[in-house]
Amino acid sequence: MNDVIFKLTELGFSSYEAKAYFALLQKNPTIGYEVSKIAKIPTSKIYETLTNLKNKGAIISSSSEPIYYSPVDPKILLEKIKYGLVTKIDDLENQLKLVQPIPNIDITWNLPGYQTVIEKIIDVIKNASKFLLLSIWPEEAAIIKDYIILAQNRGVKVIAGVFGDYDIGCRKTINLETCGVTSKKRLGKHLTVVIGDSKEVIISEIGGVEDTVGVWTNTASVILTATEYIKHDIWGKVLIDTVGIEKFNDLCSNNDILSYLIENR
């Protein structure tokens, strides 16, 4: 009995309605009082329940007094329910096909605290399927090294600029230690940037455990800016190594724009 009652409720009957219909299958035609006794439904609720069942087409009633109730044949009732469900499902399927995808929405999350930043960096690395571009420091490189290696093993191309002499496990790594001195001096923290598939980026100023803040975003303009920032550091380092520090300094000092930018960075 309990299984039948439960399955009827899954088809849209209330508990009282399921019990009353089941009771009428056991004894019919019968009056409402008898239904309440068989189904163990409070007499104050039985006539409301029977009216609901009649409105659903699950039972019929006599026009005489007292009123006698009888159940609609279960096969007929279930065919009616099945038809109604199939119709609703077909209608819903057609409506769902018409749903238009929402255009990409720019999202930005604040990342408070060191652990939150690290966890999100690891998420970005795990999400990457094609390309990772990193500007990172040895302290954090040590934490994410295993994830970088796993990314490479699954075919992700990884390019990393590391502000120190540390093997991050990436085949394409450049030591940007000399570039990091001025930025750390300006910020009092070290700036870390991780870009995944040119679709998401984390930018973080890393200090102490509670003094670290960062943002994650999928905003295209921010990703582009962060990408150009890392490229600038890498290109600059390669240029300095190629021409030598003295020639580079001469170039900067003899160019008004470069001189101004260096003095005001």
- Domain end, chosen from 97, 128, 157, is at 97
Q: What is the CATH number of the domain that holds 218?
A: 3.30.870.10
Q: Which domain holds residue 35?
A: 2-97
Residues 240 and 133 in one domain: yes
Q: What is the pLDDT of residues 37-68, one digit of tens each?
A: 999 999 999 999 999 999 999 999 998 899 99
Q: How far is 20 from 37, CA to CA, in rounded Å?
A: 10
Residues 195 and 214 in one domain: yes
Position 103 in a domain: no
Position 102 in a domain: no
Residues 216 and 149 in one domain: yes
- Domain end, chosen from 57, 78, 97, is at 97
Residues 160 and 212 in one domain: yes
* Angle between helices 245-253 and 220-243 in degrees, nearest 10: 120
pTM of the entire predicted model: 0.59
Please give the average per-residue pLDDT across 72-80, as a whole number: 95
pLDDT at 111 over 80: yes
Position 150 in a domain: yes
- Return the minimum-mean-pLDDT range out of 50-54, 208-212, 260-264: 260-264
Residues 121 and 66 in one domain: no
Residues 121 and 186 in one domain: yes
What is the structure's pLDDT at 249? 78
- Domain end, chosen from 97, 131, 161, is at 97
Dihedral over Cα of 71, 76, 79, 85: its sign? negative
Residues 207 and 88 in one domain: no
Position 70 in a domain: yes
Residues 196 and 117 in one domain: yes
Structural domain count, the chain:
2
DSSP letter string over the chain?
Answer: -HHHHHHHHHTT--HHHHHHHHHHHHS-SB-HHHHHHHHT--HHHHHHHHHHHHHTTSEEE-SSSS--EEEPPHHHHHHHHHHHHHHHHHHHHHHHHTPPPPPP---EEEEESHHHHHHHHHHHHHH-SSEEEEEE-HHHHHHHHHHHHHHHHTT-EEEEEESSS---S-SEEEE-HHHHHHHHHHHSSEEEEEEETTTEEEEEEE-SSSS-EEEEE--HHHHHHHHHHHHHHHHHHHHHHHH-HHHHHHHHHT-HHHHHHHHT-
Q: What is the CATH number of the domain that holds 10?
A: 1.10.10.10
Task: Answer whether the bond into residue 74 is a cis peptide, omega within 30°.
Answer: no
* Confidence grade of residue 181 (pLDDT, cut at 50, 70, 90): low
Bridge partners, residue 109, by sequence? 216
Position 233 in a domain: yes
Residues 152 and 258 in one domain: yes
In the chain, % of residues over pLDDT 90: 68
Most confident of 72-76, 104-108, 244-248: 72-76
CB half-sphere exposure, 210, CA atoms < 13 A:
0
Residues 181 and 113 in one domain: yes
What is the structure's pLDDT at 248? 78
* Confidence grade of residue 210 (pLDDT, cut at 50, 70, 90): confident
Ramachandran angles phi, psi of 113, nearest 5°: 90, 150
Most confident of 103-107, 128-132, 233-237, 240-244: 128-132
Residues 157 and 199 in one domain: yes
Residues 71 and 117 in one domain: no
Residue 176 burial (CB < 10 Å; 0-12/13-18/19+)? buried
